[in-house]
């Protein structure tokens, strides 16, 4: 159960359902095989001349077989498919919950197209395997083993002639694992690159057109699409070579059964009826396994998909206490060292204190680590060494979502959602009333432009607020911070790229926002830091 859970990203219930589905497939396959037994008795009666008066027996037998088939088919379908669809929802929610708890360092290493591919394509592949391949394969193997074992009790020589091809066929397909893994990795990488390019194309179509770059750009998109097509063909070929040869080998089982059966019949070692029985069995016993060889290859191909999902599911989470024990709102950095990549230090022993009720400004050249300091203060990443405390409590011991209750953050790059103005601001406090949202918007100087929108507060502003100007988007971001009303404010020069009029409005909003708070400002303009209580210069990863 543990191996199933880890291998195929299953919940406890999902693993149990997969076992149940496999058992159901065993009974289904055995039910499919049951007419052979009935046929054997029929032939025996025909040869022995004892068929008369047994019509009721055979008609009843057929009716019972149909009922058994219907019952086992229904159980097999429900356990294989309905349980899988339920588990699919559980898996995707589990992945989403896991992503919630991962440090932002994980997302810095991962491209959004890569994560989208994992959550959509890889999860879909596992879902298909869970419903169509894995239970059927396990069920076929177990049912075939049961039938093969039964044959050895009848006649071990004939049983050997029937089953010798079964393990060899599985071994042939098993040898495809390394080939499929290499081909699967290449196909996955090509698919991610294609998705990334298409996503980039949709996001930058305006710039592509402005620079008359459509032809050259779309040639690049076509090349990546054809590359994925080529990788998929290689994948099919790599799998097909092994599966086809294994299926051909299975057919030899019928030949060896007929050949050795004829020899034993001629020498008098077996009776005609026994020979016919084994021929009947040989004609049916390979059917479930032929399909299962394809299933087996598909299951092997899942290695790449499972590896990509487990990279998310097994990644170390950011954890901590959900209880805040802060005393005040001072932020203290104590000899903090940090690097995004091993060996490349961004901060090298930074120490300072941003006091409650004061504005602490961070200045320094580009790449000096100013933004990194603000991200570490909110525990977007964890430090390599040293310590960061808020109100005396080490933030590495606080649950990240609990810690964020203390912070309001206004970045230069604003993220808005394809929703109404009202709901975009309400992100600051999901329980806020409409009146509270409007009050926060007024403090952020939003009211004037919102009232001029077609549907006012219920205007849907488009993906990332594309229907608004840069200054309007920034003011909505500040309105969120007002609504949240957290004791600590992190500002990443929110007005650096705006015109003078918008900058003035936003500076007025920020002045109201920061009163009585612990404020950490990343500054690019002198005007921003003229009123700061403390200015810290970051240079070469140190607070100089």
pLDDT surpassing 80 at residue 528: no
Cβ pair 125, 188 in contact under 8 A: no
106-113, Cβ contacts within 8 angstroms, sequence gap of 24 or more: 106/315, 108/340, 111/192, 111/196, 112/196, 112/199, 113/192, 113/193, 113/195, 113/196, 113/199
What pLDDT does residue 493 have?
A: 67
| From 241-250, 348-357, 409-418, 497-506, the region with the lowest mean pLDDT | 497-506
pLDDT band of 341, cuts 50, 70, 90: low
Which tops the pLDDT comparison, 225 or 295?
225
Q: Can you identify the CATH homologous superfamily of domain 331-543?
A: P-loop containing nucleotide triphosphate hydrolases (3.40.50.300)
Burial 117-141 (b: 16+ CB within 10 A, else e): bbbebbbebbbebbbebbbbbbbbb
Cβ pair 370, 412 in contact under 8 A: no
Cβ pair 29, 292 in contact under 8 A: no
Q: What is the mean pLDDT of the chain?
A: 82
**Backbone CA torsion sign across 348, 352, 358, 361:** negative
Beta 488-492 vs 331-341: how paired, if at all? unpaired
What pLDDT does residue 336 have?
A: 86
pLDDT band of 343, cuts 50, 70, 90: low
Q: What angle do CA 536, 537, 540 make, to 5 degrees?
A: 135
CATH topology of domain 2-313: ABC transporter transmembrane region fold (1.20.1560)
Per residue in 192-223, pLDDT tens? 888 888 877 777 777 777 777 778 788 888 88
| From 120-134, 199-213, 314-328, 489-503, the region with the lowest mean pLDDT | 489-503
Give Cβ neighbours of residue 433 (< 8 Å, ≥ 6 apart): none
Cβ neighbour number for residue 404 with a 10 Å cutoff? 16
pLDDT band of 287, cuts 50, 70, 90: confident
Domain boundaries, the chain: 2-313, 331-543
What pLDDT does residue 530 have?
A: 75
Q: How far is CA 215 from CA 206, 207, 218, 305, 476, in A?
A: 14, 13, 5, 34, 38
Q: CA end-to-end span of the chain, whole Å?
A: 56
* φ, ψ (nearest 5 deg) of residue 260: -70, -35
488-492, strands of its sheet edge to edge: 407-410, 488-492, 518-522, 359-363, 534-539, 542-543
SS3 448: helix
Cβ pair 537, 543 in contact under 8 A: yes
Cβ neighbour number for residue 322 with a 10 Å cutoff? 10
Q: How far is CA 341 from CA 38, 109, 325, 366, 383, in A?
A: 69, 10, 32, 18, 12
Per residue in 60-104, pLDDT tens? 888 888 888 888 888 888 888 887 888 888 888 888 888 888 877
Question: What is the mean predicted confidence (pLDDT) over 306-323?
Answer: 81
Cβ neighbour number for residue 366 with a 10 Å cutoff? 7
- How many Å apart are CA 91 and CA 94, to the nearest integer? 5
pLDDT band of 232, cuts 50, 70, 90: confident
Measured in residues, the chain has a length of 544
pLDDT surpassing 80 at residue 523: no
What pLDDT does residue 496 have?
A: 54
Cβ pair 470, 498 in contact under 8 A: yes
* φ, ψ (nearest 5 deg) of residue 497: -105, 20
Give Cβ neighbours of residue 332 (< 8 Å, ≥ 6 apart): 352, 353, 354, 388, 389
What pLDDT does residue 107 have?
A: 79
Give Cβ neighbours of residue 276 (< 8 Å, ≥ 6 apart): 40, 43
Per residue in 23-53, pLDDT tens? 888 888 888 877 777 787 787 777 777 777 7
Highest mean pLDDT among 104-108, 297-301, 336-340, 425-429: 425-429
pLDDT surpassing 60 at residue 498: no
Cβ pair 494, 478 in contact under 8 A: yes
Q: Whole-prediction pTM value? A: 0.66
What pLDDT does residue 161 have?
A: 87
């Amino acid at each position: 159960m543990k191996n199933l859970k880890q291998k195929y990203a299953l919940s406890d219930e999902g693993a149990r359902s997969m076992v149940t589905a496999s058992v159901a497939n065993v009974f289904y396959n055995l039910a499919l095989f049951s007419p052979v037994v009935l046929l054997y008795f029929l032939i025996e009666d025909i040869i022995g001349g004892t068929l008369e008066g047994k019509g009721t027996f055979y008609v009843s037998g057929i009716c019972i077989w149909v009922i058994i088939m219907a019952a086992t088919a229904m159980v097999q379908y429900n356990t294989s498919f309905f349980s899988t669809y339920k588990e699919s929802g559980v898996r995707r929610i589990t992945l989403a919950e896991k992503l919630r708890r991962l440090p932002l360092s994980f997302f810095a290493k991962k491209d959004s197209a890569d994560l989208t591919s994992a959550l959509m394509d890889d999860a879909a592949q596992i879902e298909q395997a869970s419903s169509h391949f894995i239970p059927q394969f396990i069920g076929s193997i177990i049912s075939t083993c049961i039938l093969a074992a039964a044959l050895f009790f009848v006649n071990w020589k004939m049983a050997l002639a029937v089953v010798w091809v079964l393990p060899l066929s599985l071994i042939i397909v098993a040898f495809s694992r390394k080939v499929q893994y290499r081909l699967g990795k290449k196909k996955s990488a090509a698919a991610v690159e294609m998705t990334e390019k298409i996503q980039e194309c949709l996001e930058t179509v305006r710039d592509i057109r402005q620079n008359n770059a459509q032809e050259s750009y779309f040639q690049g998109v076509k090349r990546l699409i054809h590359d994925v097509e080529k990788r998929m063909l290689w994948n099919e070929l790599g799998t097909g070579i092994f599966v086809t040869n294994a299926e051909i080998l299975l057919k030899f089982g019928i030949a060896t059964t007929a050949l050795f059966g004829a020899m034993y019949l001629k020498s008098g070692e077996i009776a005609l009826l026994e020979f016919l029985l084994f021929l009947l069995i040989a004609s049916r016993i390979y059917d479930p396994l032929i399909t299962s060889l394809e299933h087996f290859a598909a299951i092997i191909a899942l290695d790449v998909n499972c590896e990509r999902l487990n990279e998310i599911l097994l990644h170390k989470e950011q954890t901590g206490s959900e209880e805040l024990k802060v005393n005040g709102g001072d932020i203290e950095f104590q000899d903090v060292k940090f690097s995004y990549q091993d060996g490349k230090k961004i901060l090298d022993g930074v120490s300072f204190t941003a006091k409650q009720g004061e504005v602490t400004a961070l200045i320094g050249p580009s790449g000096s680590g100013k933004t990194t300091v603000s991200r570490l203060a909110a525990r977007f990443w964890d430090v390599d060494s040293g310590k960061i405390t808020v109100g005396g409590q080490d933030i590495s011991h606080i649950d990240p979502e609990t810690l964020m209750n203390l912070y309001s953050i206004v970045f230069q790059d604003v993220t808005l959602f394809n929703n109404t103005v009202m709901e975009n601001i309400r992100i600051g406090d999901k329980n806020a009333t409409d009146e509270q949202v409007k009050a926060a918007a007024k403090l952020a100087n939003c009211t004037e432009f919102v009232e001029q929108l077609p549907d006012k507060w219920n205007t849907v502003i488009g993906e990332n607020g594309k229907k608004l100007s840069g200054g309007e988007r920034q003011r909505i971001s500040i309105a969120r911070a007002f609504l949240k009303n957290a004791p600590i404010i992190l500002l990443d020069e929110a007005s650096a790229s705006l015109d003078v009029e918008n900058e003035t409005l936003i500076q007025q909003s920020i002045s109201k926002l920061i009163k009585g708070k612990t404020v950490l400002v990343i500054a690019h303009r002198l005007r921003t830091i003229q009123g700061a209580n403390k200015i810290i210069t970051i240079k070469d990863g140190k607070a100089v």
